[in-house]
Structure 1
Amino acid sequence: MPELQLLRPDHAPALLAFERENRAHFAASVPDRGDGYFLHFDERHRALLAEQEAGVCYFHVLVDAEGEILGRVNLVDVADGAAELGYRIAKRAAGKGLASRAVRELCQRAAGRYGLSVLRAETTLDNPASQAVLTRTGFAVVGETELDGRPGLSYLRSLGVTGD
């Protein structure tokens, strides 16, 4: 069973491999990161770790027994007890329930470890898999949005006080 780990400096090589391997797969449903992301990956990784250290974001990777990254599940824009949830699962690992399990676990951490009470999320209308994950994990549609020029839905989940 893959383990959800808080992003660390030593995750960089596996994370870069994950992003490169799945770039086309992700671009089909979420905005592409662009070439600059890959050209300046080391700088970006250090910047993410600095944001995490400051408590404004919490970045997680889903790691298998061999140390390969199968997914990312992140909380960004942490403020006033709320954050934005984002996630992506490797193409080869999709459809196996990993996203739902990882999102559920992160919701528990968000409430227990990070002291959050509300999570927001968005997905495009043409991403039914992501809509299903959000619905299965307790998020409710609260409105319409636009993501990179594509129509989408906004979601919200209130978190109960839980430990982890």
Structure 2
Amino acid sequence: MPELLRLHADHAPALLLFEQENRTYFARSIPDRGDDYFSHFDERHEALLAEQEAGLHHFHLLMDVSGVVLGRVNLVDVADGSAELGFRIAESAAGRGLATAAVRRVCAMAAKDYGLTSLRAATTLDNTGSRTVLERTGFVRVGTVELGGRPGIRLLRTLDDERNDTERPSEAPGSP
């Protein structure tokens, strides 16, 4: 069973490999990170960890028992009890329910561990997988947006129900 772990400095090599191996797959449905992301990965990773330490973001990796990154679920731009949720799952792990389980887990963590009351998300209209995961995990459409020149939707999820719910073991991809 994959584990959901908070991002640490020693995750850098596995995370870079995940991003490199899935770059073409991700670019089919979300804007590409660009070459600069990869050429300055180490510096960017250190900067993001510093921002996480400051409470500006919360980064999570979904890893298998051998340390391979299967996905990531991030909460960015934390402010005023809210954050933007983003996620990506490796092509080799897609279609197995891992994204839905990981997003549910991070929603619970957002409320219980980080004190957030709502999450925002956005996806392109042609990203059926992400739309499905977001809708299955309680996000509702609240508007439209353009992402990398492509039409998309904005979604919102309140976390009031997460403060009192107990997570079912079958929904948890692992322990933080």
TM-score of the pair, normalised by structure 1: 0.98
Q: Tell me the residue number matched to 1:70.
A: 70
> Residues 34-91 of structure 1: CA distance to partner in whole angstroms, max 9, x if unpaired?
1111111100100110010000000000010001000010000000000000000000
Q: Tell me the residue number matched to 1:132.
A: 132
> Residues 94-132 of structure 1: CA distance to partner in whole angstroms, max 9, x if unpaired?
010000000000000000000000000000000011000
The count of residues paired between Structure 1 and Structure 2 equals 164
Q: What CA RMSD, in Å, does the superposition of the two structures yield over aligned residues?
A: 1.0
SS at match of 2:19: helix
**Structure 2 Cα separation of the partners of residues 17 and 128 of structure 1:** 25
Task: Give unmatched runs, 5+ long, in structure 2.
Answer: 168-176
User: 1:147-158, aligned counterparts within 5 Å?
Assistant: 147-158=147-158
**Structure 1 Cα separation of the partners of residues 107 and 92 of structure 2:** 24
Kindly provide the amino acid, as one letter, of the partner of residue 5 in structure 1. Answer: L
Task: Give unmatched runs, 5+ long, in structure 1.
Answer: none
TM-score of the pair, normalised by structure 2: 0.91
**Structure 2 Cα separation of the partners of residues 146 and 40 of structure 1:** 26
**Structure 1 Cα separation of the partners of residues 33 and 132 of structure 2:** 24
Q: Tell me the residue number matched to 1:13.
A: 13
Q: Tell me the residue number matched to 1:82.
A: 82
**Structure 1 Cα separation of the partners of residues 12 and 145 of structure 2:** 32
SS at match of 2:4: strand
Higher RCO (CA < 8 A, seq sep 6+): 2
**Structure 1 Cα separation of the partners of residues 36 and 141 of structure 2:** 33
**Structure 1 Cα separation of the partners of residues 126 and 31 of structure 2:** 13
Aligned-residue identity in percent? 65
**Structure 1 Cα separation of the partners of residues 86 and 80 of structure 2:** 18
Q: Tell me the residue number matched to 2:99.
A: 99
Q: CA deviation at 1:133?
A: 0.2
Moved over 6 A (4+): none
**Is the counterpart of residue 117 in structure 1 residue 96 in structure 2?**
no
Kindly provide the amino acid, as one letter, of the partner of residue 7 in structure 2. Answer: L
User: 1:36-51, aligned counterparts within 5 Å?
Assistant: 36-51=36-51
**Structure 2 Cα separation of the partners of residues 124 and 36 of structure 1:** 23
**Structure 2 Cα separation of the partners of residues 143 and 38 of structure 1:** 32
**Structure 2 Cα separation of the partners of residues 147 and 36 of structure 1:** 19
